[in-house]
Amino acid sequence: MPPKKKVDATVPSTMKELKDTLWKAADKLRGSMDASQYKDVILGLVFLKYVSDAFEEARGQIRAELSADGWSEDQIASVIDDTDEYVGRGVFWVGTHARWTYLANHAKGLPATAGQPAKSVGDLIDDAMDLLMGSNPSLKGTLPRLYGRDNVDQRRLGELLDLFNSARFTGHGVSKARDLLGEVYEYFLEKFARAEGKRGGEFYTPAGVVRVLVEVLEPDHGRVYDPCCGSGGMFVQAEKFLEAHGKDGSDIAVYGQELNERTWRMAQMNLAIHGIDTQGLGSRWGDTFARDIHPDVKADFVMANPPFNIKDWTRNEEDARWAYGTPPRNNANYAWIQHILSKLTPTGTAGVVMANGSMSSNSGGEGDIRANLVEADLVSCMVALPTQLFRSTGIPVCLWFFAKDKSKGAGGLVDRSGQILFVDARELGHMVDRAERALSDDDIARIADTYHAWRGTNGRSSRAEALAEGRIETKDEEYADVPGFCRSVTLAEVKEAGYALTPGRFVGAAEAEDDGEPVEQKIERLTKDLLAAMDESARLDAAVRTQLGRL
């Protein structure tokens, strides 16, 4: 009998075990710092592990290629440290003292030597961050430098470094460290968002909600923009959409802006981990309303989850973006919408997460702005989402979809000018725990397929690819209203409803299932059952009164 293969019990064998193990290990640091600093410490380490792994992988590839070409070791040594070799492969240059192997080998720090003071492991990590930012201009000012602070437990930080070093970030069918580490980074973002509650909603949008936007819009070419990009989740899901359709990430260029400094840094790291060019996030964070860092950008696709109902925002009544009415001073919802519309190309489309109140509010002139948007035929679809998708807020949310051109050929084979698709998806989803609901793949597909059938693309492939190759044969009649779920409505009918855009107002009630029992017989049976129940209730009430009288 062959000897049993020795299994390293310290190494998680599945992706779930890997994530859970790293989260539990990272959680050891929580007690010594506040939540936001704790998040920066962990995500910074994940990023550092990624860039080091990607660098070592590229280094191995360069060596193998040169060796295969007959280069000697001396010749290889002359170019193996040429930064251009790595930049050309889309890999960050990582100096010797910033590499993970160096840090892992000194997880307990460096002792004092002649002329050199002792350094903790945190000091070494801070030095590594400086080296990375100094060697890679696109990372300048983006990485956290807080590991050597007094409130960071250096012993536990060293232990965490050891665990990250021993965990298998390759394998499991994944050929690139980027893919696996990207998944771990997203997992941590979600866990931090849940842990931080309302604050977490500022940097994280539930993946299911983002996927609805992506699957409906199909951002497969051109420019993709997010004016309040948080940690960059919209861009990451767009990149995954491209990958799923066999396309390259270079088919799109991303542009984003973020107000919060720490969140902007998270977005920079998140995009870098997923191999997405970070230059579109600008050189620093900033207020989109006060100073648009992409004033000349016109996007093919815009996806956004703006902060809901913010009252304190930079408002200028003379702003050229308010083409459909000046937004009220105490609510920025329609400011976000109009900014997004100002960014679209003549055939551009957009998807925006909004609080439900935006669909019907008339305060501060919002009703007039909404009427103008409808009359301009910019609204293509409204989706009412189920409650509890956002752990960070109890506010019910909806999705607005916009299209600058709904005519035939502009993103679909059916002319939908003068129409709006309403989708009531409030009954979809499933509870993952007592506080949070999630959308399944089937839920997301049902919403997206309904929209694509309505537009005549049927959702079978990305829009540009399907139209270019002539593989779409969908006809107008293939879309059908579904009572209680979806309905295509004319602008005239929306006007009659006072320009309210709540799907439940238009889709009606779901059809009752036909159980084969004639209606008259069912009414007679149910009436008889109800009367019998009422008689039994009266009998029990009398019995209780009799017993009480005997006390």
Residue closest to 439 by CA, chosen among 426, 452, 454, 453? 426
How many angstroms separate the CA atoms of 32 and 39, rounded?
Answer: 12
How many angstroms separate the CA atoms of 112 and 118, rounded?
Answer: 4
Where in the chain are all domains bearing CATH 1.20.1260.30? 15-189
Q: What 3-state DSSP class applies to 304? A: strand
Residue closest to 188 by CA, chosen among 30, 337, 304? 30
Q: Which two tokens stand for residue 91?
A: 């890999």
Where in the chain are all domains bearing CATH 3.40.50.150? 203-507
Q: Distance from CA of residue 535 to its chain's centroid?
A: 56
Using a 10 angstrom Cβ sphere, with 0-12 exposed, 13-18 middle and 19 or more buried, the burial of residue 116 is exposed
Q: Which DSSP string corresponds to 225-267?
A: EETT-TTSHHHHHHHHHHHHTT--GGGEEEEE--S-HHHHHHH
> Taking CA 416 as the corner, what is the angle to CA 415 and CA 420, rounded to the nearest 5 degrees?
175
Backbone φ, ψ for residue 182 (5° rounding): -65, -40
Residue pLDDT, tens place only, 327-382: 999 999 999 999 999 999 999 999 999 999 999 999 999 999 999 999 999 999 99
Residue type, 500: A
Tell me what pLDDT residue 372 has.
98
Cα(first)–Cα(last) distance of the chain, in Å?
82
Sign of the four-CA dihedral 360, 363, 367, 372: negative
- Give the contacts of 207 (CB within 8 A, at least 6 positions apart): 186, 190, 233, 237
- Give the contacts of 280 (CB within 8 A, at least 6 positions apart): 253, 254, 255, 256, 294
Using a 10 angstrom Cβ sphere, with 0-12 exposed, 13-18 middle and 19 or more buried, the burial of residue 104 is middle
Q: Which two tokens stand for residue 482?
A: 């579904």
Q: Which two tokens stand for residue 480?
A: 């059908």
CB < 8 Å & 24+ apart, contacts of 6-15? 8/166, 10/166, 11/166, 11/167, 11/168, 12/167, 12/168, 14/172, 15/172, 15/180, 15/183
Please give the model's pTM, rounded to 2 decimal places.
0.81
Assess contact for 413 and 453: CB atoms under 8 A: no
Assess contact for 157 and 121: CB atoms under 8 A: yes
Residue pLDDT, tens place only, 421-457: 999 999 999 998 887 899 999 999 999 999 999 999 8
Assess contact for 81 and 58: CB atoms under 8 A: no
How many angstroms separate the CA atoms of 240 and 494, rounded?
Answer: 36
Question: Residues of the chain whose pLDDT is less than 70?
Answer: 1-14, 35-36, 167-180, 196-203, 392, 458-477, 511-516
Assess contact for 339 and 227: CB atoms under 8 A: yes
Tell me what pLDDT residue 286 has.
94
Tell me what pLDDT residue 518 has.
76
How many angstroms separate the CA atoms of 379 and 31, rounded?
Answer: 48
**What CATH superfamily is the domain 15-189?**
N6 adenine-specific DNA methyltransferase, N-terminal domain (1.20.1260.30)
The CATH class of 203-507 is alpha beta
Residue with tokens 């019998």: 532
Write a three-state SS string for 329-356. CCCCHHHHHHHHHHCEEEEEEEEEEEEH
Burial 400-413 (b: 16+ CB within 10 A, else e): bbbbbbbeeebbbb
